[in-house]
Amino acid sequence: MKVSIYPEQHHLVNAFLVMFIIHSAQLGVGVQGFQRIIYMEAKHDAWMSVLLSGGIASIIGFIMVKTLQSYESADLYGIQRDVYGKWIGTFLNLVYVSYCLGAFLVIIRNYIEVLQAWVFPEVPTWFLALTLMLLVLYGALGGFRIIVGVSFFSVFLALWLLGLLSYPLQYINWQNIMPMFEANTMDILKGTYAMTFTVIGFELMYSYYPYIKEKQKTTRYMQIGLAYTTFLYLAVMLVSLGYFSGGQLERTIWATLSLFKIVRLPFIERFEYVAITFWMLIILPNLMLYIWSASRGVTRIFQWKEKTFIWIFSIFLFAAIQFFVTREQINALSDLFGKVSFYVVYCYPIVLYIFVLIKKKVVRKGNAT
Amino acid sequence: MFTMLPLLVLVPDTQRGLGYSNRPALSTPLRTAKIPHTRNEKVYFFPPKTKLIPLTTRRGTIMFFKKNEKSPGVEKLKSKESDIQMAESSEEFTRAIKNRLNNSSDVVVIKVRPDLTIIYIEALIETSMLNRDIIGQLNEESVAPSTVESQMNSGDVQQITSLKEAVFSLLGGAVLIHVEGFAPVVSVMIPTTDRRSLAKPENESIVIGPQLGFNESMATNISLVRRYLVNPDLTTVSMTRGEQTRTAISIMYINGIASDEMVETVKQRISNISVDGIMDSSVLMQLIEDNSMSIFPLMVLTERPDRACSWLLNGKIIIIVDGSSLVIGCPQSFIEYFQSMEDQNVKWQVASFFRLLRMIAMLLSVFFTAIYVASLTYHYEIIPQPLLIPLSESRSRVPFPPIIEALLLEFIIELLREAGARLPTKVGQTMGIVGGIVIGTAAVEAGFTSNILIIIVALGALASFTTPNFMMGNVIRILRFPIIILAGFWGFYGTMFAFCFLLIHLLRQSSLGSPFLAPFYPLRFRDWGNSVVRLPLNLTSKRPYQTRPLNSKKYDSKK
Amino acid sequence: MKNMTRLLLALFALSFLSSCADPSTLEKIGMITTVGYDKADGEEIQTTILILETDPQSVDSTNVISSNALTSKGARIKGSLKSQKKLESGQLRVALYGKEVAEKGFINLADTLSRDHAISDLTYLAVVDGKASEILEKKYEQFSDAGQYVYKEIEQNIKGETIPSPTLHEMLHDYYSVGIDPLMPLLKVEDEMITITGMAIMKDDKMVGRISPIEAFYVKLVNDQYDAGNFELTLKNGNDPELMEGQDSSKKIAVALDTIKSKSKIDLLDEQTLEFDLDISMNARLQEINQKIDLKNPKNIEILDEKISQEMNKEIKELIRYGKSVDSDFIGFGEVYRSAVPHSKLTKKKWHSMYKDVKVNVNIDFQIVRTGVVE
């Protein structure tokens, strides 16, 4: 297996699209109800946790790009192979592949749960999974550029949802977020930890980095994407804190969707029904990117065709979705995944970066002697 | 390099000055490797059986040429004549020709002199020219083909040595003069030139702008384009396709603006098709589109020369097909279907308003009825209180669920439209109005549909007619049906599924390898100025990225 | 690959037939627009639901179903036994609580509304002085749909800024806040009309008292801000003879104000003594005055400003005193305290024990900006 890969020119995407990929991969099911879990830890200072996690994400993002830039055009799979050698490298690659598949599973199952809880309690899980899978397959089989296209439109077409935040703004009571700094540092850190699942998505940079055209500009656009996400989360969090009272927030599972409940236009009201179904477009790039990354991984290891793996994985995942039926099971899955993703996304990149640095040093020394 | 003389004689009017002769009409490396093509063996007319060849362009979209493995039978049949040497005796020659034309009764054979035989097909030539320019010019000295050739003062005179070529020039409107004792015959092209006079474009009529449309003659069409663009770089490449019809096809582009790669792609695609007949450019378009499975047209047709020329100026390629009054333009992006030629001719504010209006109309047309069905079937919660009573009262008498009601009404509208299109213009109009009012009113009175739905469906139908492109308008109308069904089964979820599916589908499409959703994806803000809206001309001085022009500056915006 | 796609498409088509969602077509469902809760025997709750009649030929525009059950949803299930249509609550606009229910605590019945995803957060809650079922079941001469009437009445009064908004969201917001108690409109049938007779004062979720619509104006003045309210108030002329020269100075002056703009601010002065500062600045247009007063004289206007401020000051102090007497902090001093004192660890219970000792200094700055189009 080669460390660096050079995809053909026509598979590459412009660096500035990275901000769309980053943002659309981060925004997903997590944002529908992240207020509650963070509020439980950090109370009305929850917005600080959001800000902090945004900051951490941008640091980690910086480290990731640094790691990737120490090679010419390599992805995580190539780097791990290079750093750890054949066996450990392949093992870690497989771990990363299963992480991606896990993310896919969590996202799709959580979205189906929202659909069933709010809109269609009677439509079976397998059907919703099948239709979503169909869209994911149709997009992902089109290749990376198509996925980026979906990402772009998902960000672009969802911009208007941001404008709907003005409705809850009318009911907002800023007193709710006072007094500031009541939560101690530990609580805020716990809140940040609880937010992991909402923030992840930018780690996919590891797998699509070789596909970026102007690689030296990656950091800039990645940071813009991350900053926009943080801004969005902060805005949603602040509005939620002001709109709901504390006790109310603790009881509201999908606070973001509840915010849409009061939107009332002359021809349509109860906007959450529109928002929930529209969320399909927001999670599609998530799903596509994760399944694509997973199939990239195995393609790199086994040198088979990428598309074959997309098919295999989707059939496998479709079967896996059926095992999660109750809310408890879904929550358990999400919690477990949240923990795993904390280590994979927040801790591992630092470790990898250190290993890469050491490796480079050793190689240089080796060359010198 | 082989020339395709037999093809050229089919289009005598345009033969001069169009740069045919020294341009390789077909330059597929694949074929040149296999088939010898010396001057003596002018046998090659049809592309050999071609396999699907994926062609990768710079942008990376893989395109397939379609349906090329066809009709080997026809080829076998035709190839038998290729090697037949022509007889020196006029008797034999006449017999051979007649045989080949299956003793058709309109083949005329005249013995002008014992040693000179003239053969032509009755309705294909100008009789006055035959008498004046051919029979009148022949004199005693014409004892060999070369002397006959020199006596003719009509332009297109040549000697032909193969029977096949002789037959085809005959079919193209030539008079064959056979001199007893010589194998080569002299062919003189004097085809009839009956064609429709130039008329107003019917389907793309505009208020402000030239009122001139293409007609069915390729020569006229090319001359129209050339008159608009007096430019030596305007290049024409000719080909002939269709095993039975031998339709002449011309590709036109401006050398130095149009992307070479795209020109090559078009040439290759046209030379790779193999069909028995091309009756219209719309058929050719379907054959050379990037994806024949998509419901969306990926290239565009126009009947306006000014439009074709503005495309050429933007770096596009146009394809003119003989016998068709529609010209193909490519590459084309999705948003361009919602632009009218008039947009360039009116003030930019007005044009921008209309463009936005058409986009909204398109969305409305595709999704409005579906949203009605979805909200009434599943999401009654979203109906605001003031609308609740009128909606539920109008629905209360209808015996069908909303999906059946909507499909029924959409079906009636489509019936009216289709009937109107098939009937003569005047009857059609009357029927549309009468049918609309009578059926609409009656349906509500009978309690078949709710009156609110009538408004919605009528609005949707109306909106679909604002799309300037007929083909795209059809697609928009048809798209409504599956979306209504999805909405009727799964409400907003189904509607959103349809939306996402369409989005991904459009993302996957390309036109000549350039992305179909440009300038949205890939994002080119510069091109929004002349696609989503139309900004003042001094702000849109660059050619769109989508055609990958070799020279992107259209004019100096400062002056 | 192609076969695979076809297989998938076939599967998709197949699933069309098998997994169509459960429709609730508009005209086939009974849309509950208003629901009323009353106390029935024992623990049971009598639920009265008002269903929108969609058939234009029907005589009545509504359909009222009443049933008793332990839970409100149970009552709905029982109610559907009496209905020709499937009952759905997605268009619920108003929920009414009978006085007895309100006095026992409304939160369970409000919570069940918020738990149902179909019910809007903008549903209005109101207390009925008497039984909710009476309002809904009664036949009125001037209008046919009591539910619609109540909905529009409350909506109109919120828009006209005469009462604070009582949406489900706001009620739950206040209930789940530590230092504020909810406030709901109080309805009563008077002279064949449904009238808002005031506001019901809650302690947590239990009704403990009531205030008049005039006092409701002051609540909104303190709690919220006015953009274009209107209000009438009576002033005692007292010892200002200049204001009404040559007239009987003992007469009362009634002034009607409109386009009231106001801003209020509550500050905690001392967290030990629980002393609050309440500053209100407001201006309005003098629309009508029932005594002859020379309004051309700027001095008179000043005197009026002063008098109105004093009157309001008095009223607000009275209102706060009343709130303290029934132990209901509907103005929300508790929230001010919570947001001003870090690490207060305030709970509802703790605040109610502290609430009695609250001292409030009221400062009102009132100004008449114009007096109409003639002088």
A113 assigned to some structural domain: yes
Mutate to test the interface with C, among B291, B380, B385, B508 (most CBs of C within 10 A): B380
A280/B496 touch (CB, cutoff 8 Å), yes or no: yes
CB contact under 8 A, C21 and A137: no
A225 falls within a domain: yes
Nearest to B522 among A14, A131, A280 (CB): A14
> Which chain C residues touch B395 with a CB distance below 8 Å?
25-27, 54
C373 touches chain B (CB under 8 A): no
Question: Contact B491/C29, CB-based, under 8 Å?
Answer: no
**Which chain C residues contact residue B401 at CB under 8 A?**
23, 25
Neighbours of C (≥3 Cβ pairs closer than 8 A)? A, B
d(CA B375, CA B381): 8
The reported pLDDT for the residue numbered B366 is 92
Tokens of B321: 């097909």
Q: Are C175 and A247 within 8 A, CB to CB? A: yes
Q: What pLDDT is recorded for position B396?
A: 82
Q: In this complex, do C52 and B388 lie within 8 Å of one another by their Cβ atoms?
A: yes
Q: Does residue A241 sit within a domain?
A: yes
Residue with the two structure tokens 């040429």 = B65
Q: Quote the ipTM score.
A: 0.94
Q: What confidence score (pLDDT) does residue B7 get?
A: 34
The reply to whether residue A152 touches residue B523, judged by beta carbons under 8 angstroms, is: yes
List the single residue in A with minimal CA-CA distance to C15: A127
CB A10 to CB B504 under 8 A? Answer: no
Domain count for chain A: 1
| 3-class secondary-structure state, position C369 | strand
List residues of chain A with CB under 8 Å from any CB of chain C: 117-118, 120, 122-124, 127, 130-131, 134, 137, 171, 173, 175-176, 178-179, 181-182, 243-248, 251, 258, 261-262, 264, 269-270, 307, 311
Record the tokens describing residue A89, joined without a space: 């490298």
* Residue among A30, A46, A350 nearest A191 (CA): A46
Partner-chain contact B393 C52, CB within 8 Å = no
Helix (H/G/I), strand (E/B), else coil: C308 = helix
Residue B347 has pLDDT above 80, yes or no: yes
Q: Could you tell me which residues of chain A have a Cβ less than 8 Å from any Cβ in chain B?
A: 8-11, 14, 16-17, 115, 119-120, 123, 128, 131, 134-135, 138-139, 142-143, 145-146, 149-150, 152-153, 156, 264-271, 273-274, 277-278, 280-281, 284
Share of chain B above pLDDT 90, in %: 20
* pLDDT tens column, B290-301: 888 889 999 999
B395 vs B68, more confident: B395
- Is pLDDT of B253 > 90? yes
pLDDT (mean) for A291-304: 87
User: Is the predicted pLDDT of residue B81 greater than 60, yes or no?
Assistant: no
State the average pLDDT over residues C60-79: 78
Summarize pLDDT for C274-292 with one digit per residue, the tens: 888 888 888 888 777 777 7
* Of A60, A117, A142, nearest in space to A252 by CA: A117
Is residue B368 less than 8 Å (CB to CB) from chain A?
Answer: no
pLDDT value at B50 more than 70: no
Give A243's contacts in chain C (Cβ within 8 Å).
173
Is residue B25 predicted with pLDDT exceeding 60?
Answer: no
Mean pLDDT for all residues in chain B: 79
**Tens of pLDDT along B369-426?**
999 999 988 888 888 888 888 888 888 888 888 888 899 888 888 888 888 878 877 7
- Please count the other Cβ atoms lying within 10 Å of the Cβ belonging to residue B243: 18
* pLDDT for residue B59 is more than 50: no
Size of interface B-C (CB pairs under 8 A): 60
Better pLDDT: C341 or B483: B483
| pLDDT exceeds cutoff 70 at A369 | no
Lowest mean pLDDT: which of A280-284, A307-311, B353-357, B500-504? A307-311
Contact A10 B60 (CB under 8 A): yes
CA distance C334 to C339: 9
Nearest CB partner across the interface for C24, out of B378, B393, B493: B378
3-class SS of residue A119: coil
Judge: C52–B392 Cβ closer than 8 Å, yes or no. yes
- Higher model confidence: residue B182 or residue B504? B504
| Confidence bin at B548 (pLDDT 50/70/90) | confident
B244 neighbors B276 (Cβ within 8 angstroms): yes
C-alpha torsion angle, residues A83, A89, A95, A99 (rounded to 10): 40
What's the rounded mean pLDDT across residues B99-123? 85
The percent of residues in chain B predicted with pLDDT above 70, rounded, is: 83
Q: Do A131 and C174 touch (CB under 8 A)?
A: no
- Is C154 touching B (CB cutoff 8 A)? no
- Give the count of alpha carbons within 13 A of B414, CB side only: 15
For residue C137, which of C63, C54, C57 has the smallest C-alpha distance? C63
C88 neighbourhood in chain B, CB within 8 Å: 380
Phi, psi for residue A172 in degrees, rounded to 5 = -75, 150
- Tally the residues of chain A: 369
> Can you say how many angstroms the Cα of residue C127 is from the centroid of all Cα atoms in its chain?
9
Range of the domain at A131: 9-368
Structure confidence by residue, pLDDT tens digits, C299-329: 777 877 888 888 888 888 888 888 888 888 8
Three-state DSSP state, C286: strand
Domain for residue A127, yes or no?
A: yes
| Cβ within 8 Å, pair B393-C56 | yes
The pLDDT assigned to A223 comes to: 92
pLDDT at C221: 81
B485: nearest CA partner in chain C: C16
- CB spacing of C91 vs B383 below 8 angstroms: yes
Give the number of other Cβ atoms within 10 Å of residue B2's Cβ. Answer: 17
Whether the predicted pLDDT of A150 surpasses 50: yes
| pLDDT at B53 (0 to 100) | 40
* Cα distance between residue B539 and residue A369, in whole Å: 62
Beta-bridge mates of residue C34: C50, C94
**pLDDT, greater one: C232 or A143:** A143
pLDDT at C244: 59
Query: Residues B518, B522, B526, CA angle at the centre, nearest 5°?
Result: 70
Q: What is the pLDDT of residue C59?
A: 64
Subunits with at least 3 CB pairs below 8 A relative to chain A? B, C
Task: Check residue B557 and give its pLDDT.
Answer: 67
> 10 Å Cβ neighbour count for A80?
26
Of all residues in chain C, what percent carry a pLDDT higher than 90?
Answer: 0
What pLDDT is stored for residue B319 in this prediction?
94
Residue A119 CA to residue A273 CA, distance in Å, equals 7
- Residue B11 pLDDT: 34
Interface size between A and C, measured as CB pairs under 8 A:
71
What value does the mean pLDDT take over residues A219-237?
A: 92
- B chain contacts of residue A131, beta-carbon cutoff 8 Å: 493, 497
Spatial distance between the Cα atoms of B17 and B5, rounded to a whole number of angstroms: 15
C359 touches C274 (CB < 8 A) = yes
* Residue B256 pLDDT > 80: yes
The pLDDT tens digits of the residues spanning B185-228 come to: 888 888 887 777 888 888 888 888 888 899 888 888 999 999 99
- Look at B64 and A142; give whichever has higher pLDDT: A142
DSSP B13: G
Cis preceding-peptide flag for B191 (omega within 30 of 0): no
Percentage, residues of chain A above pLDDT 70: 99
Looking at residue C245, its pLDDT comes to 59
Give the per-residue pLDDT at B65.
39
Taking CA atoms, what residue in C is nearest to B493?
Answer: C21
A158 pLDDT higher than 80: yes
- pLDDT above 70: residue B63: no
Locate the chain B residue with the closest alpha carbon to C52.
B389
Structure tokens at C364: 């009102």
> For an interface test with A, which of B55, B383, B459, B507 has the most A Cβ atoms less than 10 Å from its Cβ?
B507
pLDDT of residue B385: 83
**Cβ pair B376:C25 closer than 8 A:** yes
Beta-bridge mates of residue C363: C279
**pLDDT tens-digit profile of A17-38?**
999 999 999 988 888 888 888 8
Phi and psi at residue A354, to the nearest 5° = -60, -45
Provide the mean pLDDT of chain A.
88
Residues of chain A contacting B492 with CB distance shorter than 8 Å = 119, 273-274, 277
Say if the Cβ atoms of C27 and B385 lie within 8 Å: no
> For residue C250, what pLDDT band results from cuts at 50, 70 and 90?
low
* Residue contact C4–A269, C-beta within 8 A: no
Does any domain span residue A232? yes
Smallest Cβ distance to B490: which of C21, C52, C54? C21
Give residue-wise pLDDT tens across range C170-196.
888 888 888 888 888 888 888 888 888
Inter-chain contact C24–B395, Cβ cutoff 8 Å?
A: no
Do residue B392 and residue C26 have CB atoms under 8 angstroms apart?
yes
Q: Is the pLDDT of residue C294 over 80?
A: no
Contact A153 B503 (CB under 8 A): yes
Residue A2 lies in a domain: no
Question: Is residue B89 pLDDT above 90, yes or no?
Answer: no
Please judge whether C121 and A262 are an interchain contact, meaning their C-beta atoms are less than 8 angstroms apart: yes
The answer as to whether A245 is a domain residue is yes
pLDDT at res. B40: 38
Do B459 and B364 contact (CB within 8 A), yes or no? Answer: yes
Average pLDDT score over residue span C122-144 = 84
pTM reported for the whole predicted model: 0.86
Residue type for position B374? A
B9 pLDDT tier (thresholds 50, 70, 90):
very low
C97 has a chain B CB within 8 A of its CB: no
d(CA C256, CA C234): 9
- Using the Cβ of C23 and the Cβ atoms of chain B, whether some distance falls under 8 Å is answered with yes
Strand-pairing partners, residue B317, are B330
pLDDT of residue C374: 60
d(CA C349, CA B28): 89
Specify the pLDDT at position B142.
62
For residue A132, which of A261, A208, A28 has the smallest C-alpha distance?
Answer: A28
pLDDT at C254: 78
Note whether A267 and B384 are within 8 A (CB).
yes
> Where is pLDDT greater, at C257 or B12?
C257
* A22/B69: higher pLDDT: A22
**pLDDT band, residue C73 (cuts 50/70/90):** confident
Helix (H) or strand (E) holding B459: helix B451-464
- Provide the shortest C-alpha distance from residue B383 to chain C (in Å): 8
Say if residue B48's pLDDT is above 50.
Answer: no
User: Which CATH number is A76's domain given?
Assistant: 1.20.1740.10
- Residue C373: which pLDDT band, with cuts at 50, 70 and 90? low
Pick from C18, C21, C169: CB nearest A122: C21
In the predicted structure, residue A148 carries a pLDDT above the cut 80: yes
What does the pLDDT read at residue A280? 92
- Would residue A102 count as lying in a domain? yes
pLDDT at B371: 92
Per the CB < 8 A criterion, the answer to whether B355 and B532 are in contact is yes
Residue A147 confidence (pLDDT) above 90: yes
Q: What is the pLDDT of residues A165-202, one digit of tens each?
A: 888 888 888 888 877 777 788 888 888 888 888 888 88
Higher pLDDT, residue B537 or A18:
A18
pLDDT value at position B317?
93
DSSP state of B142: -
Residue in B with minimal Cα distance to A275: B492
B539 at interface of A, judged by CB pairs closer than 8 A: no
Count interface pairs A-B at CB distance under 8 A: 98
**CB-based contact (8 Å) between C14 and chain B?**
no
